[in-house]
Chains A and B, each alone.
Chain A
Amino acid sequence: MTTLMQLQHVNYQVDDKKILTDINLTIPAGSHYTLTGPSGSGKSTLLRIMAAMISKTSGDLIFDDQPLESYDPIMYRRQVSYCFQQPTLFGATVADNLAFPYQIRKQTMDTDHVVEALEYVGLSAETLTQKIEALSGGERQRVALIRNILFLPKMLLLDEVTAGLDEANKQIVHEWLRHLNVDRHVTTVMITHDTTEIAAADQLLQVTAGQLEVLK
């Protein structure tokens, strides 16, 4: 398998406080990693560095054989898409959110494609016109996730996206992520505290006090 992303001696610190220390990781294209560790250990920070939402203090991040610094951050984030733990939906309706990825690419929304994505995660076409206040937590999370994949990224970074979801919603998201990873070849890295998700992981990483360990 070809390597999609490589982190070499990555450090991150805020003022004098070290958050991440000497992170080394190679992520092959098409793989699915599960990332766990205690709260405050630096998991989200690591994902945000990978997503170019914050900048590492030192070390190298290579994506698709090119150093991170050689990419325009905007174009990079379209390939390495970061999903937040508690996403905010913007605008008034679901359509406002799902049209956004098209707007930033100066395209009009492909409604068929959007409806197909909605239906894949168990939401109907009517959801498009729904007000965002009317959505349940599970529906919000699914809409937010669809925002990230309408234009398929090479890598999807998921920050505890199933936390707070009921079992039925978790199941929908799991199946959808498997589909993206297996059928659409999207490389995924998912942070979780969920024991079932951790037990089911094929490739498991753990961050403890800013240090990364490969468990599986």
Chain B
Amino acid sequence: MNLVVNNTSLFLAAMLVLVALGISLWQKLGLDKDIIVGVVRAIIQLFVVGYLLKYIFRVNNLWLTLAMMLFIVFNAAWNAQKRGPGIAHALPISFLAIFISTGVTLSVLVFAGAIKFIPSQMIPISGMIASNSMVAIGLAYRSLNSQFHDQRQGVLERLALGASVMDASIAIVKEAIRTGMAPTIDSAKTVGLVSLPGMMSGLIFAGVDPVRAIKYQIMVTFMLLSATSLGAIIACYLAYKNFYNAQKQLK
């Protein structure tokens, strides 16, 4: 292993934060407080997670692993629903969408033998899947909100013609799903050319043969496509109905 980060090098690397702070103060961006809060939070959260994972990996208990995965899914849902202000039941919808997308994707990976059901594999992979599903759902919510606002007249006209709420919303729902999936598809197209993504970089960093590392990255690309499409489609199809009342009128 070539990993040489120690407390001293980490402390020196913290100087990089001063660069961001300096720019904020110099340009009067007003971000200095946010930067400090962000850095302190990142340090505390990562230390807590580091020790927590060390403990979970050591005890290797099924229920503890599942509880940690559920915790990740809940946090992802909590963050996704923040992107959908005004969408009723956004939290349970996001939770269900991320739960199913993560569950289905993980199950396929486990049954295919790509990963093992051990905490050191299940938990990081759950995090990757849930966070991508979270971003996709957040983008889809934003798209639903803006389209139902901008295309209000078109939706009203479809309803007036006797369309069901599904028929009146289908164009908006499809566009929202597309918007949610777009970043994953774009990054699938440019993977290796523009960025060396986290999984692959991590493995290479840890000294793994790059040819082996790319196989994991290919698996990640597959799983993220599945997770974002499932997450976005479930969330959109459950959320669009909340733009209507019981009389099938646009709220």
Contact = CB atoms under 8 A, between A and B. Distances in A.
* Range class of the B interface residue count: 10 to 19
Nearest to B244: A73
Interface stretch (B37-45, B86-94, B120-128, B160-168): B160-168
B249 A52 contact: yes
B247 A104 contact: no
A108 interface: no
Interface in A174-197: none
B159 interface: yes
Interface in B116-175: 153-154, 156-164, 167, 171
B153 A84 contact: yes
Contacts of B156: 53, 84
Contacts of B158: 90, 100, 104
A103 interface: yes
A170 interface: no
A87 interface: yes
B54 interface: no
B159 A53 contact: yes
Interface residues of A, number: 25
Nearest to A78: B162
A103 B167 contact: yes
Contacts of B159: 53, 77
Interface in B214-251: 245, 247-249
A75 B162 contact: yes
A142 interface: no
Contacts of A74: 162-164, 248
Most buried by B among A51, A54, A73: A73
Interface of A: 51-55, 73-75, 77-78, 81-84, 87-88, 90, 100-101, 103-104, 144, 147-148, 151
Question: Top 5 closest A-B pairs, CB basis?
Answer: A78-B162, A73-B248, A82-B160, A77-B162, A104-B163
